Amino acid sequence: MTANQESLSILCLGVDLPWVAKVCRDEELNVDLKELPWSEAASAQLQDLTQDVVLVGASAFRQWRDWAQAVVLRPVIVVAEKIEDGLVTAALRWGALDALSTKDEGRLGARLQGIAYRRVGRELAGEILSYLEESVLIARSRPNDGYDIIYRNPACVRRMGAVNGHSGDRLLCLSPGPRTDMRKLDEIRHELRAGHPVRAELIDYRSDGEMLWTEFSAAPLSVPGYWVAVSRDVSRRHESEDNAQRLRELVIKSQKHENTAVLAAGIAHDFNNILTGIVGSAELARMALPPEHAVQADIETIIQASERAAELNRELLDFAGPGKGALEPVYLNSMVTTMLVILRSRMQKSIVVRKALRPDIPPIEADPTEIQQVMLNLCMNASEAMAEAGGTLSITTDRVDIGDDERGRFAYGWPQPGSHAVFEVSDTGCGMDPALTARIFEPFFTTKEGARGIGLSVVLSIVKAYRGGIDIDTSPGGGTTVRIVLPAAPERERRRPEKVQRVREAEHRTILFVDDEEMLRSLAQRALEPLGYRVLVAPDGVEAVRLFRENMTEIDLVVLDLSMPRKGGEDAFKEMHALDERVPVLLCCGYDEASAREKTRGALFAGYLAKPFGVGTLIETVRATLAKAVS
């Protein structure tokens, strides 16, 4: 070892100091020698020693070996003028590094050289550990309980701060707090006391009180009573896992909503056909009987009940996928003012309405009826939350720019980047717990007796259809705030679909009526044939194309259902249009006109007949379409 290296510190306890100095000179060791005369009073000083090695004489060793092991942390070499087997055995069992004779100077020199090199290795290891982000701690078990900390790397010091008392928690680099799993911590303590290695994850707290997730492991070392603990911050991984779980839940929730929407659309389609048959048959019966007939009142009841059922069916279709009517710029501030006139008449007088409308919010491009439905549904839900005790209903409008990194923060929806208009409804009602909040947009879920539970589902469908987003802030007893963002309208005028006009004259009218419901085909024949129309009927697109090909010189109008087996209305229209594009086709389905055109990719139909329809509506629509075709 060269002179410029840090010296090796040696404590001589009952050993001849000049002899030790001579051995070190012969080995060219740079040493710092210290002598401590042996006495029982000297034992108190041993705990504070910082020497690299302790040389103890045989006589002193026999007196202190029963208690010195608990306080001496450095390597110990027992030195005697004459080595006996009993002394060697006792020294090694006690934990000494070696037991040697004063005549064996070379062996002592080799031992001291080895200790010096190991110390350099420890210093290098300590330097390496200082670069680690993980917290590393080495500790020694106390005889009674707890631990003394022998070493902490800088990461551990930064995380734990100053350490005075040393407990079982400190062995694991832990600082338990309010959210730490104390049951798991007790299990860990039990395993450590039993001398078993431990590996676990827990919520921990930094010295400044910040919470984090910690992954740590602790294991006993080869020297009895010594432990090493390594821990690292895994909060980012837990945050990523939480975000991934949240995304999975959103996907499942979205799929659940979409699956229910598909089911609702199918039910609504079939229900429309049934209602059309009921309404049409009732109207035919009413037309066949004199006005004063006794059953006219019952027929009127049937028609009115069918109309109420049709309204409910339209709500189902809105939930299944709201169709946009005429899209136009919608100004939320103006709509709020109009909506409040309706709202105040339906709310309790104990509810105070406040509004804060930002004047410069951009318009959105939407169907005004749908946006009004969103506003009314949210405001009515808020007012019902305050129905018993009263409260304040606050309506706010605002504008916000959403970046790419902000799209995923909404509880529902995935808004596109760009400028958005904001509509926010807050109440001071009872609020909701997380379990209830997670279900409020589920189809048919409700906490109100007698309610249908599709109002908020329709809200979600409309917002998602316009590529908006929804956020909810609520807690039990803390009221609820629902915030909706909708994309601003583009700065351009929308081009509307061109409408078909066709010139054709004929003395006799032939109509091809295409629908998969026998009841509706029969209704069309019974309603139109008495008026002089010739009605051909087809149950699906395949049969419709065949009849059209055979009779296209005579057919003046096609009434075409959109959803049918074998071949749907869209494909049938394309084939008939290719055969003779002059024949007008009247689209008949349960969707609103804009949605129907969107589903048929802008096909140029001559008109639209919404299901369910009555006999009068069928006749008037047929007449108007034919008149337009020949004008």
pLDDT in tens, 425-455: 999 988 888 888 888 887 667 776 655 556 7
pLDDT tier, 130 (very low <50, low <70, confident <90, very high otherwise): low
- Among 118-127, 375-384, 552-561, the minimum mean pLDDT is found in 118-127
Could you tell me the two tokens for 347?
Answer: 């709310």
Q: Is 357 exposed, middle or buried (0-12, 13-18, 19+ CB in 10 A)?
A: middle
Question: Can you list the pairs that 289-295 forms with residues at least 24 positions away whose Cβ atoms lie under 8 Å?
Answer: none
Give 41's pLDDT tier (boundaries 50, 70, 90). low
Q: Is the pLDDT of residue 91 over 90?
A: no
Read off the tokens for 26. Answer: 């012969």
Of 107 and 256, the one with more pLDDT:
107
Q: What is the pLDDT of residue 336?
A: 87
Q: Which two tokens stand for residue 604?
A: 């140029």
Cα dihedral: 236, 240, 242, 245 (round 10):
-170
pLDDT range class, residue 165, cuts 50, 70, 90: very low
Give the predicted TM-score (pTM) of the model: 0.39
Cross-strand bridge partners of residue 488: 364
pLDDT at 594 (0 to 100): 63
Band of pLDDT at residue 465, cut at 50, 70 and 90: confident
What was the pLDDT predicted at 548?
A: 93
Measured distance CA(329)–CA(494) in Å, rounded: 10
Which has the minimum average pLDDT: 241-255, 365-379, 463-477, 556-570?
241-255
Confidence of residue 3 (pLDDT cuts 50, 70, 90): very low
Q: Output the pLDDT for position 59.
A: 82
Phi-psi region at 16: left, alpha or beta (left = phi > 0; alpha = psi -120 to 50): beta
Average pLDDT, the chain: 79
Residue-wise pLDDT tens digits, 236-272: 888 888 777 776 776 666 666 666 666 666 677 677 7
More confident residue, 403 or 39: 403
Average pLDDT over every residue of 385-399:
89
Q: What is the pLDDT of residue 299?
A: 84
Q: Highest-confidence range of 2-11, 145-154, 157-166, by mean pLDDT?
A: 145-154
Confidence of residue 599 (pLDDT cuts 50, 70, 90): low
Q: How far apart are CA 317 and CA 591, in angstroms?
A: 7
More confident residue, 296 or 4: 296
Q: Quick one: how far is CA 259 from the chain centroid?
A: 20
Helix (H, G, I), strand (E, B) or coil at 216: strand
Contact 488, 364 (CB under 8 A): yes
Residue 560's pLDDT is: 93
Which tokens in the block code for residue 195?
Answer: 């001398």
In this predicted structure, the answer to whether residue 366 has a pLDDT above a threshold of 60 is yes
Q: Which long-range contacts (CB under 8 A, 24 or more apart) does 117-122 make?
A: 119/8, 119/52
Name 365's bridge partners: 329
Please give the full DSSP string across 276-331, using - where no structure is assigned: HHHHHHHHHHHHHS-TT-TTHHHHHHHHHHHHHHHHHHHHHHHHH-PPP-S-EEE-
Q: Are 198 and 112 in contact (CB under 8 A)?
A: no
Kindly tell me if the per-residue pLDDT of 421 is higher than 90: yes
Q: What mean pLDDT do residues 564-577 have?
A: 88
Across 159-163, 226-230, 545-549, least confident range:
159-163
Element (H, E) at 85: helix 85-94
- The predicted pLDDT at position 507 comes to 42
Confidence of residue 2 (pLDDT cuts 50, 70, 90): very low
Helix 368-385 / helix 455-465 crossing angle, nearest 10 deg: 140
Confidence band for 172, pLDDT divided at 50, 70 and 90: low
**pLDDT for residue 5 is more than 60:** no
Distance between CA atoms of 615 and 598, rounded to whole angstroms?
A: 27
What's the mean pLDDT in 507-519? 86
Residue 506's pLDDT is what?
Answer: 35
Question: How large is the average pLDDT for residues 454-461?
Answer: 79
Residue 27's identity, in one-letter code, is: E
Report the pLDDT averaged over residues 601-630: 83
What local confidence, expressed as pLDDT, does residue 131 receive? 66
Tell me the pLDDT band of 494, cut-offs 50, 70 and 90. very low
Cβ atoms of residues 509 and 486 within 8 Å: no
Closest among 591, 570, 601 to 324, alpha carbons compared:
591
Q: Tell me the DSSP string of 420-484.
A: EEEEEEEE-S----HHHHTTTTSTT--SSTT--S-HHHHHHHHHHHTT-EEEEEE-TTS-EEEEE
pLDDT of 253 reads 67
Instruction: Indicate the burial class of 273 (C-beta count within 10 angstroms; 0-12, 13-18, 19 or more).
Output: buried
**What is the percentage of the chain residues whose pLDDT exceeds 90?**
16
Q: Is the pLDDT of residue 312 over 80?
A: no
Beta bridge partner(s), residue 205: 211
Average pLDDT over residues 317-336: 71
Arithmetic mean of pLDDT, 619-629: 88
> CA-to-CA distance for 82 and 299, rounded, in angstroms?
126
Region of residue 60 (phi > 0: left; psi between -120 and 50: alpha; otherwise: beta) = alpha
Average pLDDT over residues 312-340: 71
pLDDT at 454: 67
Quick one: how far is CA 17 from the chain centroid?
Answer: 72
- Owner of token pair 């350099």: 120
For 502-514, what is the mean pLDDT? 65
Half-sphere exposure of 129 (CA within 13 A, CB side): 20
> Residue range 324-343: average pLDDT?
78
Distance CA 367, CA 90 (A): 95
Pairing verdict, β 510-514 and 534-538: parallel
Q: Which tokens hold the place of 168? A: 């079982």
Has residue 321 got a pLDDT over 70? Answer: no
pLDDT (0 to 100) of residue 20: 92
From start to end of 358-406, where are the E strands?
364-366, 391-402
Q: How far is CA 115 from CA 7, 79, 91, 112, 122, in A?
A: 12, 16, 18, 5, 10
C-alpha separations of 441 from 313, 375, 454, 461 in Å = 19, 15, 8, 9
Distance CA 582, CA 501 (A): 9
Chain Cα centroid distance, residue 295: 58
* Domains of the chain with bracketed CATH: 8-128 (3.40.50.2300), 132-233 (3.30.450.20), 245-314 (no CATH), 328-487 (3.30.565.10), 510-630 (3.40.50.2300)
pLDDT attached to residue 451: 57
pLDDT bin (cut points 50, 70, 90) of residue 1 is very low
pLDDT of residue 4: 40
Which range, 263-277, 405-419, 462-476, 535-549, has the best average confidence (pLDDT)?
Answer: 535-549
- Other residues' Cβ atoms within 10 Å of the Cβ of residue 471: 16
Contact assessment for residue 121 and residue 91, using Cβ atoms and an 8 Å cutoff: no
For residue 298, the tally of other CB atoms under 10 A from its CB is 12
Residue with tokens 């029982």: 40
110-124, 221-235, 387-401, 584-598: the lowest-pLDDT one: 584-598
- Residue 541 tokens read as 């697109």
**Which of 169-173, 543-547, 600-604 reaches the highest mean pLDDT?**
543-547
Looking at residue 396, its pLDDT comes to 93
